Amino acid sequence: MAKDVEVGGQGGEFQAKDYNDPPPAPLIDAEEFTQWSFYRAIIAEFIATLLFLYITVLTVIGYKSQTDPAKNADPCGGVGILGIAWAFGGMIFILVYCTAGISGGHINPAVTLGLFLARKVSLVRAILYMAAQCLGAICGCGLVKAFQKAYYNRYGGGANELADGYSKGTGLGAEIIGTFVLVYTVFSATDPKRNARDSHVPVLAPLPIGFAVFMVHLATIPVTGTGINPARSFGAAVIYNQDKAWDQRCNLSSFSSSSSSFPALAHLGLDPWAYLRRIWRDNGFFCAIDASGKQDVTCWTKNTTLPSPSFSSLATSSGYLSSIPAMSSLSGGEGFLCGILANSSQALCWSSIYLGRDLVPSIYSNTAYSHIAAGKDHVCAIRGSYFSDHESGTIDCWDIVKGANNSLTSTQSSQFYDQSISNLVFSKVVSGEGYSCGRVREGGAVCWGPNSASLAFQVY
């Protein structure tokens, strides 16, 4: 994802990938502890994992009871392996759908670990998510035992166990591959590039994730009983509390969680451009955002070869290199640069001549933005924040006016104010010389500005 670079030319002419990657999550984010949404997400992970284990373990125990030879039951009766696989896959589909907007719908420490390694969640959130998932799994299995204690102990408590005829190495391999399939599906279904281009992808994300769980269970139930979820194996082992369950849980599910790192690496990609997320240039001068997590703005000249550890020290006479704060987005026009501050989502624009002057009108100085795009002599930005639950999506524009000695000032735009777009909700904006265009969140696109009439379309 990070290697798809959004490149801007002089005057704000863009040849862009049509999506905006969220900034990497910080390792430690103290602000999370002050937000109710953080604790609500942890509670959602706990409840979802509790319900997941309660339904699925009951299904497993019910199937074993229905096929118990000691009760003269039909060996081919009950829901069968297909029914068990449907129970696991169907519950994941339901619970991911219910909790995706609250916690992201992880319900699995392996998924949380993979997303943490890909810098999608902070370290604090990852640790507390995994603790909540394991605790929820214990409580879910505890409820099953409380309601059906005799059946629970008789039929193994739903704990994972290696089938006869398979070695521990075989079981470990099956769990690693199964966990990889699940976590890679999660990454693919939640890819922000696909979400930006195809509006149906976020809505359908729970479906492929649930089907991945279903298919992996069909393949590995005859081998290990299917773990692919350390919380599921841990909770069942804690409540069942038998040596065999503990031994095989430690040898299978704990190790299989390590395979969640592979999709993170495969999905991120490894190449020398991976640490540059947004690039802007002006007359042979280039600036970019570091995508490794620091979100620093780095600048270099056209004579610099990338990647180079020394480019941050080049062209030190330029104002662009002096005390630039961390940015989550970057765009530039003729002689000025704009970005969205990583810590507050507020817009900041400045020129190389007057670095200390913020070229954002005071009326917009405290507004949070999610996207920003600079044209030759104007800027448009979409209201909202990467860190808020909801984005407003309305748009603000302002002019960058050149005065004496090439000095720049900003003013609220009149030529880029269009009543027809004031109530539209946008998901993307790009700007050029005398025009801006935006993708409307409900579908279609619209362009405005004094030169927009020369474009191939006005509204789709």
pLDDT recorded at residue 213: 96
pLDDT recorded at residue 303: 53
Pick out the chain residues at pLDDT < 50: 1-18, 251, 255, 268-278, 304-322, 354-356, 388-390, 456-460
> What distance in Å separates the CA atoms of residue 102 and residue 310, rounded to the nearest whole number?
43
Domain 30-268 shares a fold with domain 275-454:
no
- Residue 328 is inside which H or E element, if any? strand 327-332
Phi, psi of 153 (to 5 degrees): -70, -35
4-23 tens-digit pLDDT: 444 444 444 434 444 556 67
Q: Please, what sign has the CA dihedral across residues 99, 100, 101, 104?
A: positive
pLDDT recorded at residue 310: 33
Residues 6+ apart with CB under 8 A from 107: 45, 48, 49, 52, 92, 95, 96, 99, 133, 229, 231
pLDDT recorded at residue 71: 74
pLDDT recorded at residue 391: 57
> What distance in Å separates the CA atoms of residue 88 and residue 338, rounded to the nearest whole number?
48
389-412 tens-digit pLDDT: 445 788 889 998 887 776 788 888
Q: Which fold has domain 30-268?
A: Glycerol uptake facilitator protein (1.20.1080)
Q: Which residue has the tokens 């002096």?
A: 322
- For residue 440, give the 3-state DSSP assignment: strand
pLDDT recorded at residue 69: 75
pLDDT recorded at residue 269: 46
CB 19 within 8 A of CB 208: no
pLDDT recorded at residue 196: 61
Q: pTM of the entire structure?
A: 0.57
- For 275-454, CATH gives 2.130.10.30
pLDDT recorded at residue 78: 75
pLDDT recorded at residue 420: 73
Domain boundaries, the chain: 30-268, 275-454
pLDDT recorded at residue 59: 94
pLDDT recorded at residue 252: 52
